[in-house]
Amino acid sequence: MGMQGDFFQLLKEQGYRFPAPSGTGEGMGSDITRGTTILAMRYRDGVLVAGDRRATAGNMVMYDRTDKVLEVDRYSVLAIAGVPATAYEMVRILEHSFKYYRRSQLQELSFEGKLRAVSKLLKDNVAAALAGTGAVAPIFAGYDQDQGTAKIFFYDILGAEFEGVEYAVSGSGSPTIRGILHYLNTWSAQPLSRLGEEEATVQALRLLTSAAEFDSATGGVNREAGLFPIMKLIKASGVQVLPDTQLRPLFDAQVARHV
């Protein structure tokens, strides 16, 4: 996960030295497990959130069945890129916080309240993030019941919050698919927000396959092992998981024949 932006440049100018990147064999960052590419995009009925399944530690593949799109409650998910141990703990805290609010106040926490909760957890984690032992750059997507629409927000490792109006990406494979998403949304026959569920699913499969082609930390589809990306839809009815039995025929018919 690259560190970019004016804040990090300022730290470097002040003499701060970041831990060595994974795979260099130096520093604490070389053996920390990390999750990679995630994306979220609007489609006709809501938001699709997807992530590959690979977790790496340096140049080693630690696990190929990681769930990087985690349900926080019935109407929201947190997709994780970065250190899974930190991200999973954040999701557990969010899940219990939202549940406690719902039971104590007899109503759902507002969408704005959920966004603030995610940001606070990331800000509380700044020390670990800058030390290179707990950096997480997630995507939060959920259905705003007050406004009647699904929304996408992404964060940097310091907790800064940004709205991804049409799409958001994070993780090591994100540079590849960010450009593709911009192209599709700007110059294809129709913008992403007009795609049907099947069309959006096919595009997500193609995007993650492209990321895996150019980024070794991103896991591709393994049909023999039955490994497909994690994909979840967020609609007015709540979070819906797309099963592998639905992804396989779409991949075989509209993705695999072109690769």
Kindly tell me if the per-residue pLDDT of 20 is higher than 60. no
Average pLDDT along the chain:
89
Tokens 């930190």 found at: 86
Name every residue whose Cβ is closer than 8 Å to that of residue 60 and which is 6 or more positions away in sequence. Answer: none
Q: Which domains does the chain have, with CATH numbers?
A: 33-258 (3.60.20.10)
For the chain, the distance separating the N- and C-terminal CA atoms, rounded to the nearest angstrom, is 26
Give the tens place of pLDDT for each residue, 176-187.
999 999 999 999
Residue 36 bears catalytic tag: yes
**Helices 84-105 and 111-124: crossing angle, nearest 10°?**
140
Rounded to whole angstroms, the Cα distance separating 106 from 104 reads 6
Kindly tell me if the per-residue pLDDT of 200 is higher than 70. yes
Which pLDDT score is estimated for 99?
97
Kindly tell me if the per-residue pLDDT of 23 is higher than 90. no
List the one residue out of 122, 124, 129, 127 whose CA is nearest residue 160: 122
Confidence of residue 22 (pLDDT cuts 50, 70, 90): very low
Active-site entry in 33, 36, 218, 245: 36
- 108: number of CA atoms within 13 Å, CB side? 14
- Residue 237, CA distances (Å) to 50, 63, 98, 240 in order: 19, 32, 18, 8
Rounded to whole angstroms, the Cα distance separating 40 from 168 reads 5
pTM of the model: 0.87
Provide the 10 A C-beta neighbour count for residue 14: 7
Rounded to a whole number of angstroms, the CA Rg of the chain reads 18
Q: What percent of the chain has a predicted confidence (pLDDT) above 70?
A: 87
Rounded to whole angstroms, the Cα distance separating 152 from 144 reads 10
- Residue 152, CA distances (Å) to 120, 138, 144, 185 in order: 17, 11, 10, 15
Tokens 């489609």 found at: 43
Helix (H, G, I), strand (E, B) or coil at 243: coil
Give the tens place of pLDDT for each residue, 119-175.
999 999 999 998 888 999 999 999 999 999 999 999 999 999 999 999 999 999 999
- Residue 118, CA distances (Å) to 77, 95, 155, 252 in order: 11, 11, 9, 37
Which pLDDT score is estimated for 7?
53
Q: What percent of the chain has a predicted confidence (pLDDT) above 90?
A: 79
